[in-house]
Structure 1
Amino acid sequence: MPLSLLKFPSWFLHALICAGFWLSAPLQAQTAVQTTAQKTAPIATQAPSLMLAHIWRNGLPLQDYWISEKLDGVRGYWNGLQLISRSGQVIAAPSWFTQGWPATPMGGELWAGRGQFSHAQSTTAQTQPSDAAWQRMQFMVFDLPAAPGSFDERLPLLKQTVAHINQTWVQMVAQQKLSSDAQLQTLLNQVVKAGGEGLMLHKGSAPYRSGRSDDLLKLKPFDDAEAKVIGYKSGRGQWQGMTGALIVQNPQGLQFALGSGLNAEQRKNPPPLGSWVTYRYQGLHEKSGLPRFARFMRMRDEPGFQPEAITR
């Protein structure tokens, strides 16, 4: 004890010690709360290096590719610790959804079924996960990004990994080989008629490489892209007093109107300014670069969504 304190009576020193305890208690409690919060907070991460798809072109060697359905969901990446989005945002899935998953990174689609994109999007966007909503979700795994070897060699390991997880909501995306363009077109028609979006073609000899290349291709009956809502056109006739069209701007800075595809509810309550929407189109005008026959499809609000510019 410092000599200066020995000059004070014992009762004063006792009171001083008690006061110090009670003053420090709130600080100790606050520190404990902060420590707990730090433990439970999502771990910040960076965007994963993903393999991205080009568009299928006739004349490519079909026999070199594995073919699967293009699932209309939200891209999910299991980094061995947590689910993250394409841009690296943490997806707040319930603990039971990922319990028992391996340290092996897995690439897949968070999918609620054909025609259920809006449910997948709203569920993965929640910061407080809903068990009821997530019980309708599946993680459809299509690759093991960190595994060595070609896709042909990764497929057996992918099958083993999903079988070892042994959860009904974790499934391997079915892959098949076809021998002719006629078979490919028949399968595309069957999938689209059943409510699917299209097909994915994965080159069997390809290692996992990030970026866009012919190692991964997509085939759909139409093109689609994203644009930001920057204004509205007033409706006429049956849409009087509602939204006639959305004024949108694509990532290349081109502006155009989206009127077709909006239903009555969307015309009464259109997507807000600044939101991103997906539209379908049939090629680009040669001179202006604007999409031909552009038609509204849906809003995009999944975690960390980043649009891509369309190209000729």
Structure 2
Amino acid sequence: MQRLARSYLLYLTIMCFTALIPNAAVALQVSTQTQLANVYEENAAIPVSNYLVSEKYDGIRAIWTGKHLLTRQGNRIYAPKWFTAPLPDVWLDGELWTSRQNFEALSAIVRTHIPEQERWREVNYMVFDMPDTELPFAQRYKNYSSLIEQINAEHIKPVKQQRFHSNHELSKHLQAMVENGAEGLMLHLATAPHQSGRSDALLKLKPYFDDEAEVIAHLPGKGKYTGMLGALRVRNQQGIEFSIGTGFTDAERTNPPPVGSIITYKYHGYTNNGVPRFASFLRIREELEDE
């Protein structure tokens, strides 16, 4: 009996291991073949009219493999069965998203291994590509739009694309979107097939805001910055204290802005607690001396 039990246990172990191999292969494929965006530079000689433009959703990247929903690193997303049931047996690329400026709440919903059914009803799957290495993006856009229309599921939505004919038009659209809470824009080269890694076939355009803050402390550096500045502890004009650890040259880390000085920093929106997101040092504010 014990021998039979051991044999059965070995059989289960082998079966489980075998079942994991395809998933591991798919995860590796997702992590290495996902298309990533370069940063759009407004002063670059990029023909804007050649791109299809959509909102950049501040969500969690999600690739549907036909069987599982994975992050772009290849990790499984444990969505409820009802959420993925309408999805077809084809690869889709998109973003899990609830609403603008709500990333932290979304993250709390998505990153649990046991999905909270009711909270997942707040989540949409915003599909922005149907990967194909032969078809241009303009055709893929038509394909995923048609497919999602056929699926007819309230929580699965196609990302709308539009064209602009100049940087000026694009900038005006970006400004209007940001004023309404959007994170930025994505630009897909209409003629480009799907390709892995970063290239100018996919560009992201995000604004940044700047503000001023008072330096209240120096935090020591670690590793290659040992003996130098690691970060500035600052207090902004709203009274919020936070640390800024990026944007400095080595010279500025050696001779940092003094405590009590006013610096300018850039950031990308706020957290739910009102702390500037991704704050980075720009410069020290030089006070004009009395003549």
TM-score for both structures, normalised by structure 2: 0.69
Amino acid at match of 2:265: F
Please give the alpha-carbon distance, in whole angstroms, between the structure 2 residues aligned to 1:288 and 1:163. 56
How is 1:108-119 mapped onto 2 (pairs within 5 angstroms)?
Answer: 108-119=94-105
How is 1:1-312 mapped onto 2 (pairs within 5 angstroms)?
Answer: 20=1, 43-44=23-24, 45-46=27-28, 47-58=31-42, 59-146=45-132, 148-222=134-208, 255-257=230-232, 259=234, 284=247, 293=265, 295=267, 297-298=270-271
SS across alignment from 2:178: helix
| Contact persistence 1:261–1:295 (CA under 8 A) | no
The one-character-per-residue Cα deviations of 1:120-164 (angstroms, maximum 9, x if unpaired) are 211121111111221100110001113631111211111122122
- Structure 1 gaps of 5+ residues are 1-19, 225-234, 237-243, 271-276, 300-312
Inter-CA distance 140–149: structure 2 relative to 1 (3 Å threshold):
same
| Contact persistence 2:208–2:267 (CA under 8 A) | no
Report the counterpart of residue 240 of structure 1 in structure 2.
Answer: none
TM-score for both structures, normalised by structure 1: 0.65
Task: Give the aligned CA root-mean-square deviation in angstroms.
Answer: 4.2
Inter-CA distance 142–30: structure 2 relative to 1 (3 Å threshold):
same
Report the counterpart of residue 13 of structure 1 in structure 2.
Answer: none
Report the counterpart of residue 284 of structure 2 in structure 1.
Answer: none
Identity %: 29
SS across alignment from 1:293: strand
Please give the alpha-carbon distance, in whole angstroms, between the structure 2 residues aligned to 1:168 and 1:246. 49
| Contact persistence 2:32–2:197 (CA under 8 A) | no
| Contact persistence 2:97–2:124 (CA under 8 A) | yes
Amino acid at match of 1:214: D
Please give the alpha-carbon distance, in whole angstroms, between the structure 1 residues aligned to 2:51 and 2:32. 24
Amino acid at match of 1:293: Y
Please give the alpha-carbon distance, in whole angstroms, between the structure 1 residues aligned to 2:223 and 2:94. 27
Please give the alpha-carbon distance, in whole angstroms, between the structure 1 residues aligned to 2:41 and 2:178. 18
- Comparing 91-100 and 157-166, the one that deviates more: 157-166
Aligned length: 249
Please give the alpha-carbon distance, in whole angstroms, between the structure 1 residues aligned to 2:174 and 2:122. 26
Inter-CA distance 188–248: structure 2 relative to 1 (3 Å threshold):
farther
Amino acid at match of 1:143: D
Please give the alpha-carbon distance, in whole angstroms, between the structure 1 residues aligned to 2:174 and 2:81. 36
| Contact persistence 1:249–1:256 (CA under 8 A) | no
